[in-house]
Amino acid sequence: MCPSEISLVSLTRRLTQQVHRTIVNPSPEGRTRAPHSTALATIPRAAAPRALEASVLAIDVSGSMEEPYAGASNKLAAAQAAAITYIITKASSAPGDLIGLLSFDEHAQAIVECGPISHSRKELIRAVQSLSIGGGTDIEAPLLAAGEMLSRTPSSHTPRHVLITDGHGGTPMDAATELQRSGVIIDVIGIGDTPDRVNESLLRRVASVVDGQSRYVFIRDLRSLIQHTNSISRHVNRTGASA
């Protein structure tokens, strides 16, 4: 592992630990403190039996991901840190879950097949670290690829697709609608300096709505991105998605 890879994992672990301490440490008033972020989900308080998940991470590697991002060298580095956060948190809190990895620009590439996080954590982290900048953007491509990957997972696991992107492109709605109808929960994370850099109206429609809550969020900086990713990786999805 090269120094830059070590630095990325070290930063991700440190931020993840800080976020976890903020969430679980009670305040003087006895209330649980929540991080200041745009996170959509909260950590369950009760130790109820946990539903199993099969999730596919899709990371945008289009040319614009080379642009600067607050708290990181560029958008791709931030997306890599977010993905590693998701993997590390899942491995420690939900070892029975399955995770796969895709990258996409104008095409999607299946990098790691969806498998047990307990066996593939190191492989997934190495694969995330190896991502490099590509070409244009087609948001339909990762949706179609994730659908294929999730179709090969056990029915005992709730299917989930986590999409991190800084842009727009393609015609993804047919693929998104099909995934939602089949029960796949789609989390969409838009990243950049301002929301007008992404097609928010499209990304909101791509994202699922679960219990009346949209699973789309736009995040401007690395710390908030880590907080949100840590939160959704711990969230238990017990209900299906609806458009």
Least confident of 20-24, 206-210, 229-233: 20-24
Return the pLDDT at 110.
97
pLDDT at 217 over 60: yes
Return the pLDDT at 34.
35
Return the pLDDT at 7.
59
Query: Cβ-count burial of 204 within 10 angstroms (0-12 exposed, 13-18 middle, 19+ buried)?
Result: middle
Query: Regarding predicted confidence, which is higher, 76 or 43?
Result: 76
Of 28-32, 58-62, 208-212, 237-241, which has the strongest mean pLDDT?
58-62
Q: How far apart are the first and last CA of the chain?
A: 42
Return the pLDDT at 79.
98
Q: Which residues of 46-81 are buried (b: 16+ CB within 10 A; e: fewer)?
A: eeeeeeebbbbbbbbbbebbbeebebbebbbbbbbb
pLDDT at 239 over 70: no
User: What crossing angle do the helices spanning 222-234 and 75-93 adopt, rounded to 10°?
Assistant: 30
Query: Regarding predicted confidence, which is higher, 15 or 228?
Result: 228
Q: What sections of the chain are H helices per DSSP?
A: 3-24, 75-93, 117-129, 140-150, 173-181, 200-206, 222-234
Query: Regarding predicted confidence, which is higher, 164 or 20?
Result: 164
Provide the token pair at 24. Answer: 């679980």
Least confident of 181-195, 207-221, 224-238: 224-238
pLDDT at 165 over 80: yes
Query: Cβ-count burial of 158 within 10 angstroms (0-12 exposed, 13-18 middle, 19+ buried)?
Result: buried
pLDDT at 31 over 90: no
Return the pLDDT at 193.
94
Do the Cβ atoms of 69 and 191 come closer than 8 Å?
yes
pLDDT at 236 over 80: no
Domains in the chain and their CATH numbers? 3-29+51-234 (3.40.50.410)
Distance (Å, rounded) from C-alpha 49 to C-alpha 33? 24
> Which residues face 26 on adjacent strands?
32
Return the pLDDT at 24.
34
Which residues does 230 contact at the CB level (< 8 Å), separation at least 6? 16, 19, 20, 23, 85, 86, 89
**Judging by DSSP bridges, how do beta strands 158-165 and 108-116 pair with one another?**
unpaired
Q: How confident is the model at residue 9 (pLDDT cuts 50, 70, 90)?
A: low
Return the pLDDT at 176.
98
Least confident of 6-10, 123-127, 129-133: 6-10
Q: What is the pLDDT of residues 35-69, one digit of tens each?
A: 333 333 444 444 445 689 999 999 999 999 999 99
pLDDT at 19 over 70: no
Return the pLDDT at 115.
96
